[in-house]
Structure 1
Amino acid sequence: MIINGSMQGVGGLEFATFRLKEGVTEQDLLVLSQRVEAEFLAKQSELIVHSLLRGADGVYADLVMAPSQSLAEAYCQQWLHDEVAGEYLTLLEMDSVNMSFWTRIG
């Protein structure tokens, strides 16, 4: 998990739910998530929060909080061009991915 600065600075977020591909373990996901944070997300100077969550029935969620929704969206686009982030994405059952973006209104 990454936490930088104050939650008061959060203006937007990305929330994505997904399932793992068959044969991929939660430990596989955790290892790559830690690499993504260390090698990619830690370089995003305005990133406020990144967290990986587990829900019921094998559903996971990835949460990114940023100063604005547009910045959260930009971070997500950058995943497609980063080698380690791309590795992380190969663990996901792509048909299960549900990604949404949010703006704080109050």
Structure 2
Amino acid sequence: MIKNNKIENIGGMEFATFKLKEGVTEVRLIELAQRVEEQFLSQQEELILHFLVRGSDGRYADVAIASSQVKAEEYCQQWLENDAALEYLERLDKDSVNMTFWTKIN
């Protein structure tokens, strides 16, 4: 998902790495991510970009870029109040999750 894709609108980012729970496929992860985008993230006015990437070590990263770090953190907290997002989060190996927030500095 890309909204308001002007680089000058970018102010902050959420970067979360994780592994999937045993038995969860990448195909299912992608399906759930698309559902989260349709039912939740598309409604977030200051969310600019959201995507998933896969590393060579079996880890994934969920990246959300927003107008500010504060907005990125706010949207992250809202995942816990959305049914589609909760279903997505249930597929992650919770012990492997590492979430960080970043602020654009130039």
TM normalised by structure 1 equals 0.97
Deviation at 1:56, TM superposition (A): 1.2
Q: Is the partner of 1:48 in helix, strand or coil? A: strand
Please report the RMSD computed on the Cα atoms of aligned residues, expressed in angstroms: 0.5
Q: Which residue of 2 aligns with 1:38?
A: 38
- SS of equivalent residue, structure 1 residue 87: helix
Equivalent AA in structure 2 for residue 22 of structure 1: E
Equivalent in the alignment of 1:104: 104
Displacement of 1:81: 0.6
Residue aligning to 1:22: 22
The secondary structure found in structure 1 opposite 2:81 is: coil
Identity %: 58
Matched residues in 2 for 1:64 and 1:7: separation? 14
Q: State TM-score, norm by structure 2.
A: 0.97
Runs (5+) with no aligned partner, structure 2 = none
Unaligned runs of 5+ in 1: none
Matched letter for residue 35 of structure 2? R
Q: List, as ranges, runs of 4+ consecutive aligned residues in structure 1 with deviation greater than 2 Å.
A: none
In 2, Cα distance between equivalents of 1:12 and 1:47: 10
2:94 is matched with 94
Q: How many residues align?
A: 105
